[in-house]
Amino acid sequence: MSFSKVYMISVPGVVGQVWLLEQIPGPPSRPLIGNVFQLAVEPSETVMGNIINAQDNSESDYVKAVERMIKIIKLRQYRPWLHLNFMFRLLGPTKEHDACIDILHDMSRRAITERKRARAKQQEARNEPQECDKPGKKKRLRFLDLLLDYAEDNPDLTDENIREEVDTLMVAGFHTTSSALNWILYVIGLYPDIQAKVKEEIDGIFGSSDRPVTVADLRQMQYLENCIKETMRIFPPVATISRAIQEEVVINNYCIPAGTSVTVFIYKLHHDPEQFPDPEVFDPDRFLPENANKRHPFAYIPFSAGPRNCIGQKLAMMEMKTVVCILLRRFRVESQVPRENIEIISTVVLQPKNGNILKLFPREKLI
């Protein structure tokens, strides 16, 4: 079988996660892939404006630095002796590490400086705060504007503090969503009956219209939402989280002293047969209210739980539904790697070791 082009759905840093092999002849795919990318990088667009331009320039220094950093983190993760800073300084690729960090931080600093400059100009012109929304709608500021506004009244929040927040949001927002999307597309491409049901739900919402997806549409996609939840159960994008214990706790007669670093293995939690019978079986109905309500509230925590849980989970769900919806309206998806052959690795996020090959078949009647 021959393919005209090979596209990659991935945001910088997770290159090789999903490969889309577009079969010829097909509809022009660039706009579609463009849309997918745009949605997947929404957090970075919102935070950083357009300065990375990663969709069009995967060779940018920023993109390369993110990719390189992920490799360095992986290298460090699997070599416990490098966890200690002084050992890493002694034996690790510190020169490269520091150079990557400089590129990443500089980019965030640039975004902040440029936004400040733009705000000053706009303020001069209109003498009113900037809004993302159209006039008449509830005022919503960009994340970066919120921080800059706050800093104006609270000088304790320095530019470096803001830079750290921007970095957190960038990393927390795009790798995770990209990983989740990878697995959702994998699962949808693996189980034709599941895909048919998702498509049926989408068709029920859009009929033969080619109108864009709205927030109201997304709310109706309950079956797709349950598929996404079930995917993140089997393949949690963030497989582990860690906490520094602040006061001594006793769990099952084991005493964990204050100061200990504890790791919660979300992947294992999500595969607990007591909470999820036949844990390897993909069953979106586990998330029907009557089934989900029976489970322990912390049995399923793809977005973590408690006061430091994910602040982007609603946005992530909206992004994932939108991307799947756009794709399935135009293509039938077929996963090429059987479940028993998929090798999983967890670096920053959970990903298939050797990528995820998908075939896209243009739908006969394109909606």
The helix-helix angle for 29-40 and 313-330 (nearest 10°) equals: 170
| 226 lines the binding site for ligand HEM (CB under 6 A) | no
The reply to whether 100 sits in an annotated binding site is: no
- Cβ at position 46, least distance to ligand HEM in Å: 7
In terms of DSSP bridges, do strands 18-23 and 356-362 run parallel, antiparallel, or are they unpaired?
Answer: parallel
Using the contact rule CB under 6 A, the part of the chain among 3-11, 22-30, 166-174, 284-292 near ligand HEM is 166-174
Instruction: Select from 20, 316, 350, 358 the one that contacts ligand HEM (CB under 6 A).
Output: 316
| 308 lines the binding site for ligand HEM (CB under 6 A) | yes
- Which residues are within 8 A (CB) of 145 and not within 5 positions of it... i.e. 6 or more apart? 115, 119, 129, 130
| 13 lines the binding site for ligand HEM (CB under 6 A) | no
DSSP-derived secondary structure for 65-100: HHHHHHHHHHHHHT-GGGTSHHHHHHHS-HHHHHHH
| 82 lines the binding site for ligand HEM (CB under 6 A) | no
Helix (H, G, I), strand (E, B) or coil at 101: helix
Using the contact rule CB under 6 A, the part of the chain among 51-59, 124-132, 248-256, 311-319 near ligand HEM is 311-319
Measured from the CB atom, the residue of 151 and 367 that comes closer to ligand HEM is: 151
The C-alpha atoms of residue 34 and residue 11 are separated, in whole angstroms, by: 11
Using the contact rule CB under 6 A, the part of the chain among 4-12, 24-32, 77-85, 300-308 near ligand HEM is 300-308
Using the contact rule CB under 6 A, the part of the chain among 172-180, 254-262, 267-275, 283-291 near ligand HEM is 172-180
The burial of 337, by beta-carbon neighbours within 10 Å (0-12 exposed, 13-18 middle, 19 or more buried), is given as middle
Measured from the CB atom, the residue of 68 and 175 that comes closer to ligand HEM is: 175
Structure token digits, residue 333 = 């998806």
| 263 lines the binding site for ligand HEM (CB under 6 A) | no
Give the number of other CB atoms < 10 A from CB of residue 258. 10
Measure the CA angle with vertex 114, ends 113 and 119; round to 5°: 100
Closest C-alpha to 231, from 195, 206, 200, 201: 195
Residues 180-209, interacting with ligand HEM (CB under 6 A): 180
- Cβ at position 303, least distance to ligand HEM in Å: 5
| 173 lines the binding site for ligand HEM (CB under 6 A) | yes
| 311 lines the binding site for ligand HEM (CB under 6 A) | yes
Q: How far is CA 255 from the centre of its chain?
A: 35
Q: Residues marked as binding for heme?
A: 310
Residues that bind ligand HEM (CB under 6 A): 43, 168-169, 172-173, 176-177, 180, 237-238, 241, 302-304, 308-312, 315-316
